[in-house]
Homo-oligomer: A and B are copies of this chain.
């Protein structure tokens, strides 16, 4: 499995609609294939087959396999921007609602492509360029959450930065575990976990009782 070309940028930029369409088909297929087989077993031939496109076409838009995953992740990241932060009620007594909004947001994000995070974790040999992008996005989110905590009057916690990191990661991981499970979890179970998760974080943020 050689991959001499370590570029991530496309090999040829589409100039006709037709081309943009096949490029999109490839990406969609790749998302499905990676989700189903994992990164290593999600072969480029399988992706091409699923996209109903020849393997040659695939390599016209992506210089190598890594670039496909990279594009997928970048897209996932861009889609997951936290935009509703400013519309939140930050008056006293609304902490639980705020936390629930955070949790719900995480759930919505994972509905898109529930398995992508697992693949992200799995693939250790991601390019530095991509890892940086992911890292940057992660810090951005944590900063947003930190800001939110700082604004809210109900929050009484020692280290705001650590708290933001802790709850962001905890929410993301628990939601992922819940939704990426092989068997589909019944709705009431999802709600139960959501409630407990919200309770845990809310009580934490409210500080010592």
Tell me the A residues contacting B by CB distance below 8 Å: 37-41, 118, 121-125, 157-159, 162-163, 165-167, 169-170, 173-174, 177, 192-193, 195-197, 199-201, 203-204, 206-209
Q: In whole angstroms, what is the CA distance A125 to B40 when docked?
A: 11
Given contacts A118-B121, A177-B169, contact A203 B192 (CB under 8 A): no
Asked if residues B166 and A196 are in contact (CB atoms below 8 Å), the reply is: yes
Q: Which of A125, A163, A166, A197 has the most CB of B within 10 A?
A: A166
Decide: A170 near B163, CB < 8 A? Known: A158-B196, A200-B201, A206-B203: no
Classify the interface of chain A: helix, strand, loop or mixed.
Answer: helix
13 contacts between A and B (CB under 8 A): A38-B124, A118-B121, A118-B124, A157-B199, A158-B195, A162-B196, A166-B193, A169-B173, A199-B204, A203-B203, A203-B206, A203-B207, A206-B209
When chains A and B are docked, how far (Å) is the Cα of A106 from the Cα of B165?
19
Question: How far is B205's CA from A204's CA once the two chains are assembled, in angstroms?
Answer: 10
Is A204 within 8 A of B204, CB to CB?
Answer: yes
List chain B residues, Cβ under 8 A from A192: 159, 162
Give complex CA distance A181, B163 in Å.
18
Not counting A38-B124, A118-B124, A166-B197, a sample of 17 additional A-B residue pairs whose C-beta atoms are within 8 angstroms of each other reads A38-B123, A121-B122, A122-B123, A157-B196, A158-B195, A162-B192, A162-B193, A165-B193, A166-B193, A166-B200, A169-B173, A199-B208, A200-B201, A203-B203, A203-B207, A203-B209, A204-B204
Name the CB-closest residue of B to A131.
B182
Q: How far is the CA of A166 from the CA of B190 in the complex (A)?
A: 12
B residues in contact with A165, CB < 8 Å? 193
Contacts of A124 in B (CB 8 A): 37-38, 41, 118
A80 CB → nearest B CB, Å = 19
**Complex: how many Å from CA A124 to CA B208?**
41
